[in-house]
């Protein structure tokens, strides 16, 4: 039986959610990211609407460059809690059509419908129903690629955005791949592409016709992909690797009060996200980016996993205090917790002293935030707006 793999890619996901929730933003160039402050802001674009892309704005672009290209854009601070909620709704929809779902990121996933498509009128009709169901439940559009392999499905989903649907039939797989630029190959990096172009190989078809000896290293694997050979399966990976948050300062800062306040706020945010997800973690990581873009990480592994703000904050503060940055100013701070496990899973027969009080305090804070929003209450010394 020929495999039928679906790649679903949400269209301008964060921006589309903001336009859905605020009708005044529809049809306007919406840019999700830091406040540009008249073109002098810090940080990068998380994503942007298709209206903004007409001005050359792209994801990961410095927010100052986005402002230069599109000063008339509407700049919106990201609300990841809202985006994660929508992502969860969409993931549940996928399981209505197949148990074989691989979440790639917050806004894209692979589905293997090989053994379930017949229940919904065939592969193509299944894709149409997935798109309709996502629109019905969330009010959002997605672009879908249907193909015999993961790579071809991913490429296909990108060809007719937004709200596209492209099918690659098994018998037409090689013909579909052949004229594409080699940059379309999933997993082929810029340096490899440059090396291939230096050999006169610019299309997937030209790569498919190359001899393995010409390329060396992973040449055989690349040629196989170009020929449509991609045995990678759709594998569910339900394990969240880490939970973290970062903040980029508007101006590089050496203000210890501002730095430590931001670290407290980040620890609180990470704690809140861990608890919402029902997780706790053992490894706490501090990320610092100094002026000049020098980036460092420092980590500490705890005896017992945690999702408590005060524990995370204590470890982060100790890591920061031990870091020797001299007189250099700080551009970015990040806090991450990894080595995750379910929050209810016991690691010891004895609770750490103070855990019962911590749990009670955290639940009280969560009730206030559930009713009035995350910014309704925050830790003393922390920044309210992270």
Residues 339 and 295 in one domain: yes
The chain-wide mean pLDDT, for the chain, equals 87
Nearest by Cα to 106 from 173, 10, 188: 10
Residues 337 and 252 in one domain: yes
Q: What would the pLDDT profile of 323-337 be if each residue is shown by its tens digit?
A: 998 889 999 999 999
Least confident piece of the model among 33-47, 50-64, 271-285: 33-47
The DSSP-derived string for 24-76 is: GGTTS-EEEES--TTTT--SBEEEE-HHHHTTT--TT-BHHHHHHH-TTSEEE
pLDDT at 42: 80
Q: What is the DSSP letter of 99?
A: S
Residues 6+ apart with CB under 8 A from 205: 177, 178, 179, 226
Q: What would the pLDDT profile of 311-322 be if each residue is shown by its tens digit?
A: 999 999 999 999
pLDDT at 90: 95
151 in Cβ contact with 110 (< 8 Å): no
Say how many CA atoms lie within 13 Å of 294 toward its Cβ.
8
Q: What would the pLDDT profile of 200-257 be if each residue is shown by its tens digit?
A: 999 999 999 987 666 665 678 888 889 999 988 998 765 567 899 999 888 899 999 9
Residues 6+ apart with CB under 8 A from 353: none
Residues 372 and 248 in one domain: yes
Q: What would the pLDDT profile of 17-32 be if each residue is shown by its tens digit?
A: 999 999 999 999 999 9
Q: Is residue 186 part of a domain?
A: yes
Query: pLDDT higher for 349 or 60?
Result: 60
Query: CA-CA distances (angstroms) from residue 291 to 31, 49, 61, 295, 386?
Result: 25, 31, 19, 9, 20
Residues 214 and 287 in one domain: no
CATH of the domain at 336: 3.30.1490.100
Q: In what order do the strands lie in the sheet with 45-48?
A: 45-48, 30-33, 74-76
Q: Is residue 126 part of a domain?
A: no
Q: Is residue 382 part of a domain?
A: no
307 in Cβ contact with 279 (< 8 Å): yes
Residues 300 and 200 in one domain: no
Residue ending a domain, among 226, 261, 293, is 226
Residues 202 and 298 in one domain: no
Residues 311 and 358 in one domain: yes
Residues 323 and 298 in one domain: yes
Q: What would the pLDDT profile of 167-195 be if each residue is shown by its tens digit?
A: 999 999 999 999 999 998 877 778 888 88
Q: Is residue 164 part of a domain?
A: no
Q: What would the pLDDT profile of 71-127 be if each residue is shown by its tens digit?
A: 999 999 998 889 988 998 999 999 999 989 998 888 999 999 999 999 999 999 999
Domain count within the chain: 2
143 in Cβ contact with 162 (< 8 Å): yes
Q: What is the DSSP letter of 234?
A: P
Q: Which of 18, 51, 102, 108 is catalytic?
A: 108
pLDDT at residue 265 tops 90 = yes
209 in Cβ contact with 76 (< 8 Å): no
% residues pLDDT > 70 (the chain): 87
Q: Is residue 251 part of a domain?
A: yes
- Please state the φ and ψ torsions of residue 5, each to the nearest 5 degrees: -105, 135
CATH of the domain at 220: 1.10.150.20
* Domain extent for 289: 242-376
Residues 183 and 270 in one domain: no
Residues 248 and 364 in one domain: yes
Tell me the sheet residues that pair with 288. 296, 333
Tell me the sheet residues that pair with 110. 7, 102
Query: pLDDT higher for 292 or 99?
Result: 99
Looking only at the bridges linking them, the beta strands covering 142-147 and 5-10 are antiparallel
Residues 277 and 328 in one domain: yes
Q: Is residue 237 part of a domain?
A: no
pLDDT at 347: 56
DSSP H or E segment with residue 173: helix 173-177
Cα 165 from Cα 151, distance rounded (Å)? 15
Nearest by Cα to 108 from 161, 178, 63: 161
| pTM score of the predicted model | 0.68
Residues 280 and 348 in one domain: yes
Q: In what order do the strands lie in the sheet with 242-253?
A: 242-253, 330-342, 279-290, 295-306
Q: What would the pLDDT profile of 336-365 be if each residue is shown by its tens digit?
A: 998 888 887 765 444 454 465 655 555 555
Tell me the sheet residues that pair with 296. 288
Residue ending a domain, among 226, 255, 286, is 226
Per the annotation, the verdict on 108 as an active-site residue is yes
Q: Is residue 328 part of a domain?
A: yes
Q: Is residue 72 part of a domain?
A: no
């Amino acid at each position: 039986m020929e495999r039928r793999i679906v790649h679903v890619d949400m269209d301008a996901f964060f921006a589309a959610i903001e336009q859905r929730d605020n009708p005044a933003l529809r049809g306007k160039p919406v840019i999700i990211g830091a406040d540009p402050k008249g073109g002098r802001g810090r940080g990068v674009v998380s994503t942007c609407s298709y209206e903004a892309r007409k001005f050359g704005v792209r994801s990961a672009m410095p927010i100052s460059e986005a402002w230069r290209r599109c000063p008339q854009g509407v700049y919106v601070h990201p609300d990841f809690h809202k985006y994660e909620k929508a992502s969860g709704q969409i993931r549940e929809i996928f399981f209505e059509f197949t148990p074989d779902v691989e979440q790639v990121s917050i806004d894209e996933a692979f589905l293997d419908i090989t053994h379930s498509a017949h229940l919904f009128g065939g592969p193509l009709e299944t894709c149409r129903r997935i798109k309709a169901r996502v629109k019905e439940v969330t009010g959002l559009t997605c672009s879908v690629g249907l193909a015999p392999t993961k790579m071809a499905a991913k490429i296909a989903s990108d060809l007719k955005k937004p709200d596209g649907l492209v099918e690659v039939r098994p018998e037409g797989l090689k013909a579909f791949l052949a004229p594409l630029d080699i940059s379309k190959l999933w997993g082929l990096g810029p340096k490899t592409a440059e090396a291939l172009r230096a050999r006169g190989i610019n299309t997937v078809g030209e790569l498919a016709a190359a001899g393995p000896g010409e390329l060396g290293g992973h040449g055989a694997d690349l040629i196989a992909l170009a020929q449509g050979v991609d045995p990678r399966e759709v594998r569910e990976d339900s394990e969240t690797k880490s939970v973290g948050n970062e903040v980029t300062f508007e101006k590089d800062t050496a203000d210890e009060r501002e730095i430590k306040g931001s670290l407290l706020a980040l620890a609180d945010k990470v704690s809140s996200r861990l608890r919402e997800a029902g997780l706790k973690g053992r490894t706490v990581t501090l990320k610092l980016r100094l002026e000049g873009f020098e980036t460092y990480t420092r980590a500490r592994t705890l005896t017992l996993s945690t999702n408590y703000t005060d524990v995370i904050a204590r470890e982060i503060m100790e890591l920061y205090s031990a870091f020797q940055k001299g007189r250099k100013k700080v551009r970015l701070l990040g806090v991450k917790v990894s080595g995750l496990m379910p929050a209810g899973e016991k690691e010891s027969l004895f609770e750490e002293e103070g855990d019962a009080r911590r749990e009670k305090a955290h639940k009280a804070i969560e009730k206030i935030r559930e009713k009035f929003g995350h910014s309704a209450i925050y830790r003393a010394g922390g920044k309210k707006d992270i």
